Structure 1
Amino acid sequence: MNDTLRQVAMAAGLLLEWEDSDGERQQLPEERQRRLLSILGFPADDEPIMRDSLQRLKCLNEPEGPEQWPPLITADSGYSVALPSPLTPGTPFTLFLERGGRHEGWLEKPDCLPAVAEIGYHRLQIANVEITLAVAPAQCFSPKDAVADASPRLWGLTAQLYALHRPGDGGIGDALTLEIFAARAAEQGAAALAISPTHAMFSADPERYSPYSPSSRLLHNVLYGSPELLLGKAAVKKAESQSDFEARMRRLEAEDYLDWPAAARTKLAWLRTLYDDLMARQDSEAQVLRQNLAAFRQAGGSLLEDHCRFEALQMEFGPGDWRDWPQALRDPANPDVKRFAEAHAQEVGFHAFLQWVADRGLAHAQKSARDAGMKIGLIADLAVGADAAGSQTWSRQSEMLEGVSIGAPPDLLNVYGQDWGLAAFSPYGLVHSGFRSFIDMLRNAFTHAGGLRIDHILGLMRLWLIPHGAPPTEGGYLCYPFDDMLRLVTLESRRHRGIVIGEDLGTVAPGFRERLAAHGILGMQVLWFELDENDDVFLPAGDWSAEAMATTSTHDLPTVAGWWAGRDIEWRSRLGLLKETQSAESEQGERRRERAKLASALGLLCHGSLTRTLEASDIPASQVLDACARHLGRTPAPLVLLQVEDALGLEEQANLPGTITEHPNWRRRWTADADVLLASDEVRHRLSELARQRRSAHE
């Protein structure tokens, strides 16, 4: 390998060697290194160009003086603070603490400050510069902290928010529906309710509805807003009676599958009527509401304003990529964008109103969940990236990468790898913006929740990036400032008193899970993957980790009933998603053997049974589901989350990876209303068994 190329690649953060899902060592070919380096802005076409790139990288990675320091550095509470570059011992400094007070001193060592105990975002003045010093606690807020118990054994549910029903929801679950369901779950003893992402989507392009491909992770999905919580039932009923809203909404509510485009258009039109009415009213109640809306806008600052302008611009120019807009409107700082916003003030204001309604609804849902008795309440979900054509990439361009998308290398489940089509943060953009977007994103997620699940948390350390136009196999890993990002997650967790769950499934770097555990971040344990090292038997409940959340399945994996019936195999066979070496018959044969393994682990076979295969009909799925609930309940996991699909015994999963329209991803709705969804004798028995085992495990 060219030595200069290797130096450039390593300095730019490319991972040159890694271990794949089979445990085999892989290397990043030189051709791929050059392509990725060019995209990152450090071309490596020939020796002189590489030397120039290497010099620029050195300036970025090793600033010569304080004037080149990034605006924010991080440190651990109680440990010395590493400086970006050395200074002369004896250099004076002043530290202004976030909560008031200040410390003054002199450098004893050239490369670090003395330890700072108080956590928070402090202002450091040194050598004629001022930067932010973010001091993180040792660990995140944890289930132990939530219940003041050294060995918590909590349980909760996982729900797709859009799938919840209530009369008057307009065909899509919303904050009020969530509030109702959380109260019913709390009545049965649930401490938490994890929900699907509530990130901002595309009001002008409702065909884009995957919750994991949002327009922006900095704001909320306005379709989840419940205006009656702010405006009252009378105003809502009045708006419904106008035009044909009520009839359209009732038709949408009756559908088994969520029609996102129709539901979005109907709800947005209805919300626009409510907004217009609010802005026209002259009564004192309306005046107070408008004042509250104005205060919300002011508090939201440029982050909210930029998103609302983006939404208005996309309404003007139609669905598509903002890179196709007139040149002057592609930059949010361009004066033409401000002039557009002034000329379309009513439209921009409408989108601020939508965010206000959504924000207040989620706040109300979390408060209601806690008031109902949940120790944690809602657990938000943070997607790994944002749509490249969305609001976040437009408003924070210097912090995002162009020309690549996030995905995954080939693994056991996806032999050709995956391209998720999502934009990634720029490591250098993050550092030199003071991690602005990352912090904003965490705060938005934590603000109205008692916890946060971080999808593909490996992305804090490295991401598989694929050049546009290349297959997933032609990607490579780019490293991120893991220590800084981990500290910021830990700090924001403590500030918001929210637990953190890291989705760490699949191939991860050696020692990665241990780093998460050391910071109090729970990993994830999924029933299907909890096997011994030879994959011969499912692990006994007592052998599961006490440092991870336990669950039966995820939205991307088969439900328990679906797995037991082989429904996932049927889908993959029908859609051509099986490997070349697989057939439906061979997969179903393997599933018969896996059923016997699971039944044995769950205690559903007679002691000493030699059964090696099982048909789905040999043991009713309801018995398997009850046994799974008991099994998870007995684990030492501090938190068990049961999918609503598994509480109900449903066969179909929310999402089938590798498909877009071939499978009804993110569209299935549950038939019963949220108020009675958990009320059947079968479901109540299943949840009571889980709760009983949790209590027993604690004792």
Structure 2
Amino acid sequence: MPAEDNPPAPPELLALAHAHGVDTSYDAGAGPVQVAPRTLTTVLAALGVDAGTPELAAAALERHRAEQAQRLLPPTVVAWQDRRTALDLPADAGVRVELEGGGSWELTHDHSWWLPEDVPLGRHVLHVTAGERAGRAALIVAPARIPEPRQRSWGFLAQLYSVLSDQSWGMGDLTDLADLAQWAGAELGAGFLQINPLHAGMPGVPSDPSPYRPSSRRFADPVHLRIEAIPEYTRHDGVRDLARRARLLREEVLEHDALIDRDSVRALKQQALELLHTVPRGVGRDAAYRAFVRREGEWLERYAVWNALAEVHGAAWHSWPKGLRHPSNPQVAAEKAALTDRVEFHRWQAWLVDEQLRAAQRAATDAGMPIGLIHDLAVGVHPDGADAWALQDVLATGISTGAPPDAFNAHGQDWGLPPWRPDTLAETGYGPFAELLRAAARHAGAIRIDHVMGLFRLWWVPVGARPTEGTYVRYDAEAMLAVLALEAHRAGTAVIGEDLGTVEPGVRERLAEHGVLGTSVLWFERDWHAGGAVLPPERWRAGCLATLTTHDLPSTAARLTGDHVALRHQLGLLARPLAEEQHAAATELADWQRELVRLGLLADGAPVTPEALHAYLRATPARLVGVWLPDTVGDPRPQNLPGTWDQYPNWRLPVADATGTPRTLDRIATAPGTAAIAATLTPLGAPPGVPSGVPSVAPAAGHADRRTPPGDPV
């Protein structure tokens, strides 16, 4: 931004921004950049602070300081298990802890105020009185470390929609997921299966195929259901007719080179579900459904109501009649009563998906997987979707998350996702965040958190502004990590953070301290302080999921042939001339070839193979090693090509072989490449350097060097 367009911010505005956790400058690798005053005022406005003039900023700063001085407690207090926690309170205060499970503790003053080490894990309430003042805060007591996998293992990374069988309806479904897990665990010895987010998508045609911009992160999408696996299926002849029509959708993809058509799949499955909803449930299934509704409570109710209202008024709730734009409005209750049947239908669909998710995780653990399913939690939600409507009081209005400009993307990124408001999130005791994590972990052995750096800070972009016109907003990382640790402990799940891209110094270390595994991609593991030399396997971090690629990166087959450069050239995405990019890709491949030869994993002069690269991953201390499922059959195509919208069929490709011929799950299971990679990785030994006493994940029962590679979390 030219200097004349970015005048210096007045000191009152800078001080106010810092007081609210809003950064006033950032460094994308080329030196510090000052954030424009208009960005600061817009971001502060989204936090409920009027700073439109220096006078208003000064008044707001004075009010903030006075309010902070008057408060006895912050909104949320964090304590770590087996550690004493100091409280900054007056000596004559009265302090009481209201325990989550009932009962309370009165604390006594002993020269200073301390929370004792034996406060039980949980979400409690801290009450304080001091003279005429009184205060309360959410008290989160969390374990110091998140459970980690008990043993070193490998597993597959898959986009579920892309893995079709001879029974699925045009895209992979939850029964395909169960079959994939059973085969990988029982036949190959895989320890886990990581899949894309299964979050509920936005209704409407055409729909957004990206699983990282959902309507709701709290509930999974009914489009993933296997209709024939619903017990009521056998009791309705009309649904069996629809199943025969679904065969045509499947054949279009598998035999006629069609893209995955979610909209057609969704429409057909919705017809089937409408029919099945008329079939009476037996008393046992009805009891299970009622128990699900009670467990999910208000979250489920709001989700179902939003879906029912969206059927009438369209998905963009910002344009609904004014009385329907907030879930607590009386008009919403009135319309809900008029839409009782539709609300019930959407509650019921959510239950069906939950049942099939539970069955898939059970299939994985029954097949011997020590972890089972790894569910992916997207970084945010669509601004017009169910969660944005239901949670609007804790989400920032008029703001989108993204990434600042850096060496890999000079224009920055805007993901179109409203961020948490750190202030209101803290006022709720982080309840919405905890509930989201609880749901993600319910039928998983681990969860992957997309853009895990968002626990510390997020790049906020005012809606309508360029991504370069944003700034970082800080979160209470201590509280976010405590909530994450508590929910992971209760669910018995490990946590993997997607920490690719711009990572602030100290963040990876802080995550590792609490047991959050990172993500390491082979092509990016370089010693950037030593000229970018290949990082030897013994210098990789142990606490990570190590892979060759991800859904946003080229497949291994494309890397080995250079096809990824040709594809980006074809679409006009190269930042340098084609010859330079091809030379850089060839140099990179030669570097890895020399390293593989040095380690005895490849014969001198032999071409690099997927098996040799996976053997290299096995030579690292990485706790988990992930295999991109399409690599087993040589698929050269990426599932998502960041920087494209309609130029490339993102999120719509079935797994295919090197010729582009789609391969069903049965064909993948018998592919020579699958057996070769599995043989390379089985068995993995115990991870080196694992500290003793580190908590580990029990088998689920249903449930150093700076590495800054390019990354696009959505």
TM above 0.5: yes
> Is the Cα–Cα contact under 8 Å of residues 197 and 375 in structure 2 kept in the other structure?
yes
> Is the Cα–Cα contact under 8 Å of residues 226 and 358 in structure 1 kept in the other structure?
no
User: Which deviates further from its counterpart, 10-19 or 447-456?
Assistant: 10-19
> Is the Cα–Cα contact under 8 Å of residues 199 and 216 in structure 2 kept in the other structure?
yes
Structure 1 residues 241 and 23, CA gap change in structure 2 (3 angstroms) = same
Structure 2 equivalent of residue 615 of structure 1: none
Q: What are the equivalent positions in structure 2 for 1:450-465 lying under 5 Å apart?
A: 450-465=445-460
Structure 2 equivalent of residue 372 of structure 1: 367
1:6 alignment partner, one of 9, 14, 19: 14
> Is the Cα–Cα contact under 8 Å of residues 170 and 246 in structure 2 kept in the other structure?
no
Structure 2 equivalent of residue 304 of structure 1: 300
Identity %: 34
Structure 1 equivalent of residue 514 of structure 2: 519
Structure 1 residues 543 and 87, CA gap change in structure 2 (3 angstroms) = closer
Residue 654 (1) aligns with residue 639 (2): yes
> Is the Cα–Cα contact under 8 Å of residues 383 and 455 in structure 1 kept in the other structure?
yes
User: Which deviates further from its counterpart, 674-683 or 329-338?
Assistant: 674-683
> Is the Cα–Cα contact under 8 Å of residues 169 and 253 in structure 1 kept in the other structure?
no
Structure 2 equivalent of residue 49 of structure 1: 56
> Is the Cα–Cα contact under 8 Å of residues 200 and 217 in structure 1 kept in the other structure?
yes
Structure 2 equivalent of residue 134 of structure 1: 140
Structure 2 equivalent of residue 73 of structure 1: 77
Q: What are the equivalent positions in structure 2 for 1:246-395 lying under 5 Å apart?
A: 246=246, 248-251=248-251, 254=254, 256-276=258-278, 278=279, 281=280, 286-319=282-315, 321-395=316-390
Structure 2 equivalent of residue 614 of structure 1: none
Q: What are the equivalent positions in structure 2 for 1:94-113 lying under 5 Å apart?
A: 94-99=96-101, 102-108=104-110, 112-113=114-115
Q: What are the equivalent positions in structure 2 for 1:153-552 lying under 5 Å apart?
A: 153-187=152-186, 188-205=188-205, 207-231=207-231, 234-235=234-235, 238-241=238-241, 245-246=245-246, 248-251=248-251, 254=254, 256-276=258-278, 278=279, 281=280, 286-319=282-315, 321-533=316-528, 534-552=530-548
CA drift at 1:209: 2.4
Structure 1 residues 664 and 62, CA gap change in structure 2 (3 angstroms) = farther
Q: Distance in 2 between matches of 1:104 and 1:367?
A: 44
Structure 2 equivalent of residue 629 of structure 1: 614
Deviations, residues 97-145 of structure 1 (Å, cap 9, x unaligned): 44566533223366653334432223434436654321011100111xx
Q: Distance in 2 between matches of 1:696 and 1:438?
A: 32
- Code of the residue aligned with 1:226 in structure 2: it is R
> Is the Cα–Cα contact under 8 Å of residues 416 and 473 in structure 1 kept in the other structure?
yes
Structure 2 equivalent of residue 553 of structure 1: 549
> Is the Cα–Cα contact under 8 Å of residues 152 and 684 in structure 2 kept in the other structure?
no
Describe the SS at the equivalent of 1:590.
Answer: helix
Deviations, residues 632-680 of structure 1 (Å, cap 9, x unaligned): 0111011111111223322111101111221111111123332452322
Structure 1 residues 675 and 316, CA gap change in structure 2 (3 angstroms) = same
Structure 1 equivalent of residue 652 of structure 2: 667
User: Which deviates further from its counterpart, 663-672 or 244-253?
Assistant: 244-253
> Is the Cα–Cα contact under 8 Å of residues 236 and 275 in structure 2 kept in the other structure?
no
Deviations, residues 231-280 of structure 1 (Å, cap 9, x unaligned): 1552476513259744554445645421111111111121111112x2xx
CA drift at 1:607: 11
Deviations, residues 78-100 of structure 1 (Å, cap 9, x unaligned): 233355xx433253434344456
Structure 1 equivalent of residue 593 of structure 2: 599
Moved over 6 A (4+): 604-611, 695-699
> Is the Cα–Cα contact under 8 Å of residues 116 and 135 in structure 1 kept in the other structure?
no
> Is the Cα–Cα contact under 8 Å of residues 442 and 492 in structure 1 kept in the other structure?
yes
CA drift at 1:62: 5.1
Describe the SS at the equivalent of 1:688.
Answer: helix
Q: Distance in 1 between matches of 2:614 and 2:244?
A: 45
Q: Distance in 2 between matches of 1:480 and 1:180?
A: 40
Structure 1 residues 60 and 555, CA gap change in structure 2 (3 angstroms) = farther
Using the size of structure 2 for normalisation, the TM-score is 0.88
Q: Distance in 2 between matches of 1:497 and 1:458?
A: 22
* Structure 2: runs of 5+ lacking an equivalent: 1-8, 656-661, 691-714
User: Which deviates further from its counterpart, 294-303 or 649-658?
Assistant: 294-303
Q: Distance in 2 between matches of 1:100 and 1:64?
A: 26
Structure 1 equivalent of residue 71 of structure 2: 64
Structure 1 equivalent of residue 27 of structure 2: 19
- Code of the residue aligned with 1:686 in structure 2: it is I
User: Which deviates further from its counterpart, 45-54 or 207-216?
Assistant: 45-54
- Code of the residue aligned with 1:683 in structure 2: it is T
> Is the Cα–Cα contact under 8 Å of residues 206 and 265 in structure 1 kept in the other structure?
no
Q: Distance in 1 between matches of 2:335 and 2:460?
A: 35
CA drift at 1:355: 0.5
- Code of the residue aligned with 1:8 in structure 2: it is L
> Is the Cα–Cα contact under 8 Å of residues 383 and 418 in structure 2 kept in the other structure?
yes
Residue 584 (1) aligns with residue 578 (2): yes
User: Which deviates further from its counterpart, 125-134 or 154-163?
Assistant: 125-134
Structure 1 residues 305 and 232, CA gap change in structure 2 (3 angstroms) = same
Deviations, residues 38-81 of structure 1 (Å, cap 9, x unaligned): 34332323232012221343356555246xx53x4322112333
Structure 1 residues 630 and 63, CA gap change in structure 2 (3 angstroms) = farther
Describe the SS at the equivalent of 1:677.
Answer: helix
Q: Distance in 1 between matches of 2:512 and 2:671?
A: 38
Describe the SS at the equivalent of 1:378.
Answer: strand
Q: Distance in 1 between matches of 2:313 and 2:323?
A: 14
CA drift at 1:295: 2.6
User: Which deviates further from its counterpart, 100-109 or 207-216?
Assistant: 100-109
Root mean square deviation of aligned Cα: 2.6
Deviations, residues 496-537 of structure 1 (Å, cap 9, x unaligned): 111111111121111111101100111111111111224443
Deviations, residues 593-617 of structure 1 (Å, cap 9, x unaligned): 1111111112289999999xxxxxx
Deviations, residues 317-371 of structure 1 (Å, cap 9, x unaligned): 224x211000001011112111111111111111111111111111111111111
1:32 alignment partner, one of 39, 42, 62: 39
Structure 1 residues 602 and 232, CA gap change in structure 2 (3 angstroms) = farther
Q: Distance in 2 between matches of 1:56 and 1:288?
A: 58
Describe the SS at the equivalent of 2:33.
Answer: strand
CA drift at 1:31: 3.9
Structure 1 residues 243 and 102, CA gap change in structure 2 (3 angstroms) = closer
CA drift at 1:373: 0.4
Describe the SS at the equivalent of 2:533.
Answer: coil
In the comparison of the two structures, how many residue pairs are matched? Answer: 668
Residue 682 (1) aligns with residue 707 (2): no
Structure 1 residues 646 and 237, CA gap change in structure 2 (3 angstroms) = farther
Q: Distance in 1 between matches of 2:190 and 2:237?
A: 33
Using the size of structure 1 for normalisation, the TM-score is 0.90
Describe the SS at the equivalent of 1:78.
Answer: coil
Structure 1 equivalent of residue 703 of structure 2: none
Structure 1 residues 417 and 101, CA gap change in structure 2 (3 angstroms) = same
